[in-house]
Amino acid sequence: MQHCSIVHGAPYDSISAVRWNPSNQHEIAYTRLANGELTIFDIEHSQAIQVLRTRPAASDHEGQGLSDIAFLNSDTRVLASDASGAISMWDRRASDLPQRVLKTNKNIGLTSIQLYGDQRVYGASKDGFIYVWDLGGASQSDKEVNSSPQISINLDSMLNEHQPLEAQINIRPKVIQSININPSCPYQLGFHTDDGWSGVLNMHNYLVSHVHCPPPPRV
């Protein structure tokens, strides 16, 4: 007999991201657009077992909504990106507040995050940038640590410099809708923008190696 779990929410309180905990098949994490909370839900017992909250300074622009979730290679550490251009990092054993906040130094929301093992975090933004943070020296105490990105990549500028695209279109700053690491080749970061462009960014040399333009508009 199959068992169904239902997550209830207030009207118009949309869930923005849902992720399995890779270390615990009975847990999912989800976030909502309306607040800066990340909920850990036990699907076996159909109940929320933990609510993680952002610090006020990490989500005081463009609302408090969280956009994406990623688990480190441990069921106790989890990250979530937000609408203010920051990524909160929690150790679930220590506190419901983050031990570390990764910041872009811009108040522009992040749309998607990816982990390169336990070493790096990639974050895509609404203004066409991809950011890279080094997770070395992550805090294990209750004291919050703020970290700026190690690298900032202006993706739309790189696309404009891509020779085969010169005659096609003037690429303007755009929302990077999602990013995803190639599981067979982890230095390849796939990207997709809100106006249909997609491609692959080589994270060894930070160059676009593949790109696909959207189809021309119908007339």
pLDDT confidence of residue 85: 92
Q: What is the pLDDT of residues 63-116, one digit of tens each?
A: 568 999 999 987 689 999 998 899 999 999 999 999 999 999 888 999 999 999
Please choose, from the candidates 103, 120, 124, 213, the residue with its C-alpha nearest in 3D space to the C-alpha of residue 176: 124
- Go through 14-50 and write b for each residue having 16 or more CB atoms within 10 A of its CB, e for each that does not: eebbebebeeeeebbbbbbbbbbbbbbbeeeeeeeee
pLDDT confidence of residue 209: 87
Q: Which two tokens stand for residue 168?
A: 């096609």
Judged against a pLDDT cut of 80, whether residue 166 lies above it is answered with no
pLDDT confidence of residue 1: 44
What percentage of the chain reaches a pLDDT higher than 90? 54
Distance CA 127, CA 155 (A): 9
pLDDT (mean) for 8-16: 64
Q: What is the pLDDT of residues 126-147, one digit of tens each?
A: 999 999 999 875 544 445 577 8
Most confident of 33-37, 49-53, 135-139, 157-161: 49-53
pTM: 0.84
DSSP of the chain = ----------TT--EEEEEEETTEEEEEEEEETTSSEEEEEETTTTEEEEEEE--GGGS-SS-S-EEEEEE-SSTTEEEEEETTSEEEEEETTT-SS-SEEEE-SS---EEEEEEETTTEEEEEETTSEEEEEE-TT---SSS-EEE--SEEEEHHHHHHT-GGGTTT--PPP--EEEEEEETTEEEEEEEEETTS-EEEEETTTTEEEEEEPPPPPP-
pLDDT confidence of residue 211: 85
Q: What is the pLDDT of residues 40-65, one digit of tens each?
A: 999 999 999 999 999 875 444 445 68
Terminal Cα distance for the chain, rounded: 52
169 — pLDDT class (breaks 50, 70, 90)? low
When mean pLDDT is compared across 13-17, 37-41, 116-120, the lowest value belongs to 13-17
Domain ranges of the chain: 15-212
Q: Which two tokens stand for residue 44?
A: 């076996």
Q: Which amino acid is at 121?
A: V
Class of the domain covering 15-212: mainly beta
Place of tokens 């909504």: 65
- Mean pLDDT score of the chain: 83
pLDDT confidence of residue 139: 45
Q: Which two tokens stand for residue 117?
A: 């093992």
